[in-house]
Amino acid sequence: MITDALVARLCDRVAASTADTFNTVDVFTGGTLAKVPRSSPEDVAEAVEAARETQRVWAGVAVADRIAIFERFHGLLLKHAEEIMDVLQSETGKSRRDAFLEVSAPLVTIGYYARKAPKLLAPQRRQGMLPGLVKTSELRVPKGVVGTITPWNYPFALAFMDIIPALIAGNAVVLKPDTQTALCTLYGVDLLYQAGLPQGLLQVVIGDGPVVGTAIVDTADYIGFTGSTRTGREIAARAGRRLVGYSLELGGKNPLLVLADANVQQAAVGAVQTCFSNSGQLCMSPERLFVHTEIYDDFVRRFLDEVKRMNLAAGYDYSADMGSLTSQRQLETVQKHVEDARAKGATVLTGGKAMPELGPFFYEPTVLTDVTPEMLCYDNETFGPVVSIYRVATEAEAIDRANATSYGLNASVFSKSIEHGERVAAQLKAGTVHINDGHVVGLGSADAPMGGMKDSGIGRRNGAEGLLKYTESQNISAQRVPLVTPPRWLPFGWYVKGMQGLLRLIRRTNIR
């Protein structure tokens, strides 16, 4: 459990020079969990400077030696997984099952980049301007200091899935976790230092987004942000003024399509698993279900059976299917969306109320029908355990309605035929599409980049892109003999003719 000694050790890792603190909430009880230090913009400036110093040395460390630290970190994460889950659950109120999946995600990230990074970061020979006469290479140079800003819903996974490739690529990182969920992130940071990360390379600052987050955006060399679309826009505008790069992993209003040829029971079980994962506070969770009319009644009956069977509890074992919402603010948003829908004529098939008997922020898994465009939950992200089901007459209608949103993060398609699912997936405007699953297999397939289209983001995590975004490509080209400047004795017209002849030869022989 979380002792004062543990909190003190973790808080020591925060770059904060004053005695100012925040109280965080023990979500299952509503009591105070911990006092965490508050950093100031001056602390951020110092953290960035200290990180910059260390980064200069780190950039010269061989990639294999950098990776060795993360291999040790992998072992430490497995060894301390239970305690990390305890902290994660107290700070977020999520179920142990969700906490387990969350702690596992960075293990996949380490496994993937430990294998792929040495080749991806190695200098690559490229075709020179004139084969044999020009030698060209592409280098991957770290950005410098990466600012990583993360939200409260998956505070451990999202921080480490981004920090790991940024550090392996040779950068330093200044990390700002959400205040409420700082301890679990600090736990991981502490383990990373135990694994041998050079002191100072990973700095943690804590504070309000508009103050401390902004100070990072104004000083770091690259920003990796995960959070709401609203904040993402502000960060992009600010980073744009400084001409520094950024990647943004933002919100969604994800569709799930149950096609006429779906295995209805598999679709019902899969939909429950993904819609109510982390109490629906998952950016990839579907909130809109489009079900083909031929199987609609059957699907709704089975889906409701599964929802009603869910076990909600505030516990540190694996018995609960779903835990709590994370905050009063989140509970209020969910209540507002459901009450608004109810008042405007939606039907509540199940759920629709808070469960204070379980904990202060618990809310029932809720299923709505008859949801119309004037209702808040129609196209705004609820980010809670609330889904709307829509009957569709054709597959084309399902695709059109799935795409009728400003978001484009994740989508799911259920069909007995993977090929059929793939054909539908290709027509969906979403950065990730899961077939016969909601969000797990795409997230776990670290070799393929994932992220948002439209208002759901810019840039990708995972895959080569998820590593290389933390680097600048550098083109180094050398002419082996003087080519570009003709000798003084050669009339320039002759030089032009000679060069044109050479270009023709290259084109004809297609020299690569």
Which residues belong to the active site?
Answer: 249
Binding part of the chain for ligand NAD, among 27-35, 81-89, 128-136, 213-221 by CB under 6 A, reads 213-221
Query: 228 or 479: whose CB is closer to ligand NAD?
Result: 228
Binding part of the chain for ligand NAD, among 26-34, 62-70, 190-198, 208-216 by CB under 6 A, reads 208-216
Residue 210 interacting with ligand NAD (CB under 6 A): yes
Binding part of the chain for ligand NAD, among 33-41, 79-87, 145-153, 367-375 by CB under 6 A, reads 145-153
Residues 265-304 that bind ligand NAD (CB under 6 A): 283
CA dihedral 312, 315, 319, 320 (to 10 degrees): 20
Residue 159 interacting with ligand NAD (CB under 6 A): no
Binding part of the chain for ligand NAD, among 70-78, 210-218, 267-275, 393-401 by CB under 6 A, reads 210-218
With both helix axes pointing from N to C terminus, report the angle between 293-308 and 264-275 in degrees, rounded to the nearest 10: 50
According to CB under 6 A, which one of 83, 138, 234, 397 is a site residue for ligand NAD? 234
- Asked whether the beta carbons of 444 and 102 are under 8 A apart, the reply is no
Q: Distance of CA 183 to CAs 30, 76, 179, 351, 424, Å?
A: 17, 17, 8, 32, 42
Question: Going by C-beta distance under 8 Å and a sequence separation of 6 or more, which residues neighbour residue 70?
Answer: 110, 113, 114, 164, 167, 168, 195
According to CB under 6 A, which one of 93, 144, 209, 286 is a site residue for ligand NAD? 209
Using DSSP's 3-state secondary structure scheme, residue 377 falls into helix
**189 vs 162: CA distance, rounded Å:** 13
According to CB under 6 A, which one of 98, 221, 249, 321 is a site residue for ligand NAD? 249
User: In the chain, count of helices (H) and strands (E)?
Assistant: 18, 20
CB of 22 to ligand NAD, least distance (A): 11
CB of 179 to ligand NAD, least distance (A): 7
Give the number of residues in contact with ligand NAD, rule: CB under 6 A: 30
According to CB under 6 A, which one of 409, 424, 428, 468 is a site residue for ligand NAD? 409
- Three-state secondary structure readout of 403-454: HCCCEECEEEEECCCHHHHHHHHCCCCCCEEEECCCCHHHHHCCCCCECCEE
CB of 430 to ligand NAD, least distance (A): 11
Query: 98 or 249: whose CB is closer to ligand NAD?
Result: 249
CB of 279 to ligand NAD, least distance (A): 13
Angle at the Cα of 330 from the Cα atoms of 1 and 310, rounded to 5 degrees: 70
CB of 431 to ligand NAD, least distance (A): 8
CB of 234 to ligand NAD, least distance (A): 5
Q: Report the chain's C-alpha Rg in angstroms.
A: 26
Q: Which residues pair with 175 in a beta bridge?
A: 148, 204
According to CB under 6 A, which one of 457, 459, 463, 466 is a site residue for ligand NAD? 457
